């Protein structure tokens, strides 16, 4: 079983990479899956302009960068989306990258770690609506990190014990859902 921890912010100085690394650190004592950090920024996914709808493309995408993104996502059985909240919504680059591929997401479970002034909660709610199109199963458990209280000055995560426990609950539910869907 392979779980992708997908960091969706590509901004310079972003906190998202630190959140993704913190989530990966949460997996170090677990032996129930292989956990991989997938940093969207490293793929440089272009804006979706292809005339062929991604669901119809049969994983044959025009862009080499989109093909690399597709392979990384397709290799996973489930996901943790690490999402910022920008202007009460999902990051545009992350939404574009999700839209740029399609069958790679279908029927896979996803959990959310949000961050922002209100713990990324509005972005998480929007992701739940968006990912329903791919018949993805979104977990009830989620982790919210407050941009004012859960980070050090350098952007690294400084969660309290409750946030660490919430991360473990999210991972427990994600692994259970991947196993259930594999049957």
Residue ranges covered by each domain of the chain: 2-182
Query: What pTM, to 2 d.p., does this model score?
Result: 0.97
Strand order in the sheet with 109-116: 34-39, 2-7, 78-84, 109-116, 137-146
Asked if 157 and 151 touch (Cβ cutoff 8 Å), the reply is yes
Pick the closest to residue 25 from 17, 118, 60, 62 (CA basis): 17
Quote the CA–CA distance of 183 and 180 in Å, as a whole number.
6
- Gap between the Cα atoms of 116 and 7, Å rounded: 14
Q: Render each residue's pLDDT in the chain as its tens digit; 183 residues.
A: 999 999 999 999 999 999 999 999 999 999 999 999 999 999 999 999 999 999 999 999 999 999 999 999 999 999 999 999 999 999 999 999 999 999 999 999 999 999 999 999 999 999 999 999 999 999 999 999 999 999 999 999 999 999 999 999 999 999 999 999 988
pLDDT of residue 102: 98
For 88, phi then psi, to 5°, come to: 70, 20
Q: Where are the alpha helices (DSSP H) in 100-156?
A: 121-131
Distance CA 145, CA 163 (A): 8
- Euclidean distance between CA atoms 62 and 34, whole angstroms: 30
Using the Cα atoms of residue 88, residue 93, residue 98 and residue 99 in order, give the sign of their dihedral: positive
Q: Which of 96, 147, 137 is nearest to 117 (CA)?
A: 147
Q: Which residues contact 41 (CB under 8 A, 6 or more apart)?
A: 7, 9, 10, 14, 17
Q: Indicate the class that CATH gives domain 2-182.
A: alpha beta
């Amino acid at each position: 079983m392979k779980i992708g921890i997908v960091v969706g912010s590509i901004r310079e100085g972003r906190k998202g990479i630190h959140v993704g690394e913190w989530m990966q650190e949460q997996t170090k004592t677990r032996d129930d899956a292989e956990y991989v950090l997938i940093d969207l920024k490293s793929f440089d996914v272009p804006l979706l302009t292809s005339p062929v709808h991604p669901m119809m493309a049969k994983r044959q995408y025009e862009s080499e960068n989109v093909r690399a993104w597709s392979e990384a996502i397709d290799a996973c059985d489930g996901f943790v989306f690490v999402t910022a909240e920008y202007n009460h919504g999902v990051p545009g680059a992350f939404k574009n990258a999700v839209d740029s591929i399609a069958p790679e997401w279908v029927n896979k479970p996803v959990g959310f770690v949000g961050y922002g002034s209100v713990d990324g909660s509005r972005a998480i709610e929007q992701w739940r609506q968006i990912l329903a199109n791919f018949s993805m199963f979104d977990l009830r458990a989620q982790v919210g990190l407050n941009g004012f209280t859960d980070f050090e000055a350098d952007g690294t995560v400084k969660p309290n014990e409750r946030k660490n426990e919430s991360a473990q609950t999210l991972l427990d539910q994600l692994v259970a859902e991947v196993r259930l869907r594999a049957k």
